[in-house]
């Protein structure tokens, strides 16, 4: 007899978690509470409620977390210009700590003694969810069905669903299991099917948010983003909430084929995996943020941020959002953003984002009287550079003399 009386399941209503819901009921004989987070996946969530009710679920939580997601998770991450392994904008990774946080809060609210998720035993998400659970509720019990059951493939899941009367949408048009997808306001990801062959080009009809760059408009589109303390607050002069602004950047960027990525990445659990991502708004936002920082950050502060960014990115990718070291880094990063104020103008054209203007009226460190190629009126003494160069060359001159003597 299981000692689990009530479990809160992170429930999307898709294939995996629909099977998990029924499996939890049958295997643990416990009450299941479902939690569905609206973080901008762009799908109707009421079907998840209806599915849960179909299986007798009495406590169903469907919550709009879009603003919290962008304001408290995406924006802080973008203040650090965060990318993993040089390319990935961490769209899936950054959503997991928010889901874990709210799931634990619901578990406390309903008196549950366990939480459950649909992440597989091969992936990163199991780590991200569970590190979050334990950081926020050290004694919580975790049920990870993929590490317990014998349903080891998408095909077995589909067979289980059919035998238990579980409705499944989005079967692939050519038969078999669909792509494994994750979507939120920052991105949509694709894994599985033909993508498991890294040499194979993705199917053209796989992409959902972006047009192919070659099919994008023949005329460029200009955008202007205004930043306050490192966060984008207006688009083309219109004040927007974080979620609304990112959604609009996704829409416009998608029209111009911006933000596609085909990546083989190193998972935390040790294997390499191939995934494809669409992150149109995030791609634009990152470009703009770096542009305004180029005006407003001291050189050594900017370089320090760049040095720390890969470590910060790895913490998020590996699930350590709630760790003391990530929070310490965030404090430093946020401190650097106090002067990151101003506007950036960008040109979108056939899959590219180009910075074509930037200005900070209050915090710019760019001094045109010093940087000019024209007469600077003595603002910069060029003769000073000779001693600067000789001092910086001193160690190399000493080493060169020694080599010649040898």
pLDDT of 174: 46
Number of domains forming the structure of the chain: 3
The one catalytic residue in 12, 16, 49, 79 is: 16
Within-domain flag for 83: no
pLDDT of 173: 43
Report residues of the chain scoring pLDDT below 50. Answer: 1, 170-176
205 is catalytic: no
Q: Give the pairing type, strands 6-10 and 231-235.
A: unpaired
Give yes or no: residues 145 and 265 share one domain.
no
Give yes or no: residues 375 and 355 share one domain.
no
Within-domain flag for 1: no
Within-domain flag for 85: no
Give yes or no: residues 10 and 61 share one domain.
yes
96 is catalytic: yes
What DSSP string describes 193-219?
Answer: GGGGSTTSPPPGGG--S---GGGS-SS
Give yes or no: residues 26 and 171 share one domain.
yes
pLDDT of 368: 92
The one catalytic residue in 12, 18, 116, 180 is: 180
The one catalytic residue in 12, 93, 125, 273 is: 125
Residues 6+ positions from 335 with CB-CB distance below 8 Å = none
Strand partners, 61: 35
Domain that holds residue 252: 183-359
Q: What is the CATH number of the domain that holds 118?
A: 3.40.50.620
306 is catalytic: no
Q: What is the CATH number of the domain that holds 351?
A: 3.90.1260.10
Contact 278, 210 (CB under 8 A): yes
Distance CA 402, CA 406 (A): 6
pLDDT of 154: 75
The one catalytic residue in 66, 79, 96, 154 is: 96
Distance CA 387, CA 6 (A): 73
Give yes or no: residues 355 and 396 share one domain.
no
Nearest CA to 84 out of 293, 279, 248 is that of 279
Give yes or no: residues 343 and 267 share one domain.
yes
Within-domain flag for 155: yes
Within-domain flag for 220: yes
Single residue among 110, 143, 178 that ends a domain in this structure:
178
Single residue among 178, 196, 223 that ends a domain in this structure:
178
Within-domain flag for 135: yes
């Amino acid at each position: 007899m299981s000692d689990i009386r009530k479990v809160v399941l992170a429930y999307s209503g898709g294939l995996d978690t629909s099977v998990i819901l029924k499996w939890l009921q049958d295997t643990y004989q416990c009450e299941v509470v479902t939690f569905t987070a609206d973080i901008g996946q762009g799908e109707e969530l009421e079907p998840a409620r209806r599915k849960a009710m179909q299986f007798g679920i009495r406590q169903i939580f469907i919550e709009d977390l879009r603003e919290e997601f962008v304001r408290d998770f995406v924006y802080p991450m973008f203040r650090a210009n965060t990318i993993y392994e040089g390319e990935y904008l961490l769209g899936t990774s950054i959503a997991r700590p928010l889901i874990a946080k709210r799931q634990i809060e619901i578990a406390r609210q309903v008196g549950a003694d366990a939480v459950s998720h649909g992440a597989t035993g091969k992936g990163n998400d199991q780590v991200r969810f569970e590190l979050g659970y334990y950081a926020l509720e050290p004694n919580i019990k975790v049920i990870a069905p993929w590490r317990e059951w014998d349903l080891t493939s998408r095909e077995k899941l589909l067979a289980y669903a059919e035998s238990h009367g579980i409705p499944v949408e989005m079967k692939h048009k050519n038969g078999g299991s669909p792509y494994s997808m994750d979507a939120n306001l920052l991105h949509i990801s694709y894994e599985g099917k033909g993508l498991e062959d890294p040499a194979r080009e993705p199917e053209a009809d796989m992409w959902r948010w972006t047009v192919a760059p070659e099919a994008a408009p023949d005329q460029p589109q200009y955008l202007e983003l205004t930043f306050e303390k490192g966060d984008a607050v207006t688009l083309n002069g219109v004040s927007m909430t974080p979620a609304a602004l990112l959604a609009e950047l996704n829409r416009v960027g998608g029209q111009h084929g911006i933000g596609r990525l085909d990546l083989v990445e190193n998972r935390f659990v040790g294997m390499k995996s191939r995934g494809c991502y669409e992150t149109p708004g995030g791609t634009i936002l990152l470009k703009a943020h770096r542009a305004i920082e180029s005006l407003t950050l001291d050189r050594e502060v900017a370089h320090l941020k760049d040095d720390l960014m890969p470590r910060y990115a790895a913490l998020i990718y590996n699930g350590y959002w709630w760790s003391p070291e990530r929070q310490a880094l965030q404090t430093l990063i946020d401190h650097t953003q106090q002067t990151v104020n101003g506007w950036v103008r960008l040109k979108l054209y056939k899959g590219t984002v180009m910075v074509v203007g930037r200005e900070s009226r209050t915090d710019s460190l760019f001094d045109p009287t010093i940087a000019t190629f024209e007469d600077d009126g003595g603002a910069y003494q060029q003769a000073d550079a000779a001693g600067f160069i000789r001092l910086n060359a001193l160690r190399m001159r000493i080493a060169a003399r020694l080599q010649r003597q040898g």
